[in-house]
Amino acid sequence: MDVYAEYQKKLTTPEKAVSMVKSGDWVEYGSFTGQPIALDKALAARKDELMDVKIRATTATRMPEIVKADPEAKHFIYNNWHFSGLDRKLHDQGACWYIPMLYNELPSYYRNFLDVDVAMLPVTPMDEKGYFNFGPQVSHTKAICEKAKKIILEVNPMIPRCLGGREEVIHISEVDALVETEWAMPQVRSVPPTENDNKIAGFIMPELVDGSCIQLGIGGMPNAMGKIIAQSDLKDLGVHTEMMTESIVDMVEAGRVTGARKRFDTFKTVYTFSMGTQKTYDFLHNNPSCAIYPVDYVNNPFVISQHDNFIAINNCVELDLFGQVCSESSGTRNISGTGGQVDFTLGAYHSQGGKSFICLESTYQKKDGELCSRIKPILTPGAIVTTHRAMVNYIVTEFGIVNLKGKTTWERAEALISVAHPDFREELIKEAEQMGIWRRTHKLAL
């Protein structure tokens, strides 16, 4: 096959490419920083001639044109696997719907259950062998392509070429149409850590050893953790994480990360997607020390557990005295998604020497200034349980760190109240007494 002739044959305009979409179709928009722009705009322009076109995406970094064109969702129905701040606002307006998932299972949902009529995916320019690279969002992309009846690629020279791993490329022979565009990668800046984030990170640091394999979630606390690790004297750390962030780049550049002690993927920094600044994308581009894999490998609890001394660090929104963790909603309001917290909580615990940490600031402030505890007697009515109470290992706040594994309901209540904000501890004790899960012991110092 003459791949360049094939390329020219399939090259078209965005307007002609999206003519493949029909009313009633399921259309895939890719994920994270890899979502189409020119094709989205061209599809939005067809609003009046289409009905019931259902779009699936993951974590939007910009407002989709199809939502701008049809905010009442009469023509385009926008669905999302994991909400960004923008998706959350669209959901509040009735313009976006959430799709529950366990992230490590997502490729299997496509292969076993989902219909894909048209996939629209951004990629790097084609190489001399006829392959396009998906860039920093392999995740479940190949599974989408396997199910898609039609595949349209948006070729963009500004996307970093991220080495695998596996399932990081697609061949020209698998593609139905191509369009050429040029837009800058979305810049997702790190949330600056607060004083409490730094305190929480300080409680976790003594749990790390030379050769630990690290997973960091998103937010100020994981960023604080990354900065402290970068400035530490830890040696030969490994990285096996769903999200590649700038704080991990800092750890690598500081010499903390070599991957030398990983049992497999030795010397490789493994991830399934990246959202960061240009510094992160430049680091990933053609970097053979990094390997991007599909999420059913990276987030597979069995794969995670094979790494010794695995350390998983994630955030949550609130938790209750039973140890149930909510990380994705505020009451009934969906604010993010399950993501990989369950995957890494399970995998890290089953690692030899591994530990899982779920972190939270002990309080939050309402708009009217009222201070509220994030540790509650029971979860806020309607709150989604992300991590089952029996899965939870360590809970960390700015007031300390406690293990919940093997503890009775009253021991859990004591442990959690001990790391709650002092202003709320007496109130939590009264609630625990009423719920029948309180037995004061001499270990609890209020």
**Binding-site positions for CoA:** 217-221, 317, 340
Calpha distance 195→389 (Å, rounded)? 28
Q: How far apart are the first and last CA of the chain?
A: 74
Q: Whose CA is closest to 387, among 439, 328, 436?
A: 328
Q: Which among 167, 168, 242, 246 is annotated as catalytic?
A: 242
8, burial (CB in 10 Å: exposed 0-12, middle 13-18, buried 19+): exposed
Which residues are within 8 A (CB) of 153 and not within 5 positions of it... i.e. 6 or more apart? 121, 122, 123, 132, 170, 175, 177, 178, 179
Q: Dmax over Cα atoms in the chain, in whole Å?
A: 78
Q: Tell me whether residue 72 is one of the annotated catalytic residues.
A: no
Calpha distance 259→213 (Å, rounded)? 8
CB 444 within 8 A of CB 407: no
CB 240 within 8 A of CB 308: no
Q: Which residues are annotated as a binding site?
A: 217-221, 317, 340
Q: Whose CA is closest to 214, among 198, 232, 196, 197?
A: 232
Q: For the range 331-336, what are the long-range contacts, defined as Cβ-Cβ under 8 Å and sequence gap of 24 or more?
A: 331/380, 331/381, 331/382, 331/383, 332/381, 332/382, 332/383, 333/88, 333/91, 333/92, 334/83, 334/88, 334/91, 334/98, 334/384, 335/83, 335/88, 336/82, 336/83, 336/88
Q: Which two tokens stand for residue 323?
A: 């140890």
Q: Which two tokens stand for residue 126?
A: 């084609």
Q: What DSSP string describes 101-160?
A: --GGGHHHHHHHT--EEEEEEEEPPP-TTSEEE--SB-TTHHHHHHHEEEEEEEE-TTS-
CB 124 within 8 A of CB 170: no
CB 27 within 8 A of CB 34: no
At 241, the amino acid letter reads T
Calpha distance 318→381 (Å, rounded)? 12
Tally Cβ neighbours within 10 Å of residue 188: 20
What strand order describes the sheet that includes 400-403? 238-239, 213-216, 310-315, 355-359, 394-397, 400-403
Residue 407 three-state SS:
coil
As annotated, the active-site residues are: 242
